[in-house]
């Protein structure tokens, strides 16, 4: 009976040792004992996390655009209104400054050149336009009895150089044509179409008078200037 009791005690003791875990030596440290492992977490790929976060952020941004804040719109409107007022104020200030500058700016004096004509006894200086008018009046008054000379002096002294040269060349051509011995050609040259000589002779001071002096009749109602004389009288 005593042996049977010892047998069960040994079995019971062995069972306790088994539940206590593996055996260790007395020289071993407790830190070397195996630690219980924490439960493993399920691994989620980084790409999947990033994609989910981006999708959430995009959805939130889209929602903000679809439902704009009234307060934000109001603030933006106030900013734009202030900017408009500032620009208008700057423009007005520039316009006022420019107007003031124009008012205070000194106007440079206009220098008018004056001329004299000792030959006609005009020794006091006059502007060129006035002097030419005085010369024209003096020539007409002094040579009214000699129309040919008067017209030549007017052409020479009362027009600009270019108009004078064109007029003289055209009159020389008219007179040269009248020297022909061909009777048919002479009859043709005795008539001048006014449209062709208007700017070259008739509009030049002295040109009309010269044509009258050599025998041409200048009639404003006629389109032709005609030389009224016999062919034998033309020299």
| Mean pLDDT, rounded, for 154-174 | 94
| Reported confidence tier of residue 229, pLDDT bands at 50, 70, 90 | confident
Give the predicted TM-score (pTM) of the model.
0.50
Apex 12 CA angle, 11 and 17, nearest 5: 95
Encode pLDDT of 184-201 as tens digits.
Answer: 888 888 889 999 999 999
Task: Give the C-alpha separation, 183 to 232, whole Å.
Answer: 10
Q: Is the pLDDT of residue 180 over 90?
A: no
SS3 23: coil
Query: What pLDDT does residue 72 have?
Result: 63
Query: What pLDDT does residue 27 have?
Result: 56
| Mean pLDDT, rounded, for 53-69 | 61
Q: Compute CA distances 227 → 15, 120, 207, whole Å.
A: 164, 34, 15
224 Cβ contact list (under 8 Å, min separation 6): 191, 192, 193, 194
Looking at per-residue pLDDT, the higher value among 229 and 64 belongs to: 229
SS3 217: strand
Encode pLDDT of 92-141 as tens digits.
Answer: 888 888 887 777 665 556 777 888 878 777 888 899 888 889 889 989 99
Nearest by Cα to 171 from 147, 195, 151: 151
116 Cβ contact list (under 8 Å, min separation 6): 122, 123, 124, 125, 126, 131
Q: Is the pLDDT of residue 26 over 90?
A: no
Cβ atoms within 10 Å of 166's Cβ, excluding its own: 16
| Reported confidence tier of residue 3, pLDDT bands at 50, 70, 90 | low
């Amino acid at each position: 009976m005593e042996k049977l009791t010892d047998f069960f005690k040994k079995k019971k003791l062995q069972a306790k040792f088994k539940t206590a875990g593996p055996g260790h030596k007395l020289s071993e440290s407790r830190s070397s004992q195996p630690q219980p492992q924490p439960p493993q977490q399920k691994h989620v790929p980084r790409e999947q996390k990033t994609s989910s976060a981006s999708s959430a952020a995009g959805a939130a941004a889209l929602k903000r655009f679809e439902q704009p804040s009234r307060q934000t719109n109001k603030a933006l409107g106030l900013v734009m209104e202030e900017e408009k007022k500032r620009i208008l104020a700057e423009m007005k200030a520039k316009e006022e400054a420019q107007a003031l500058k124009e008012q205070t700016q000194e106007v440079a004096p206009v220098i008018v050149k004056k001329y004299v004509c000792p030959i006609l006894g005009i020794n006091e200086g006059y502007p060129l336009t006035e002097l030419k008018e005085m010369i024209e009046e003096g020539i007409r008054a002094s040579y009214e009895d000699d129309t040919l000379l008067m017209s030549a002096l007017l052409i020479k002294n009362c027009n600009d150089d270019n108009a004078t040269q064109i007029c003289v060349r055209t009159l020389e051509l008219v007179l040269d044509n009248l020297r022909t011995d061909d009777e048919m050609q002479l009859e043709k040259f005795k008539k001048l179409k006014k449209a062709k000589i208007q700017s070259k002779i008739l509009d030049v001071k002295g040109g009309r008078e010269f044509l009258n002096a050599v025998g041409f009749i200048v009639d404003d109602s006629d389109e032709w200037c005609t030389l009224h004389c016999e062919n034998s009288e033309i020299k």
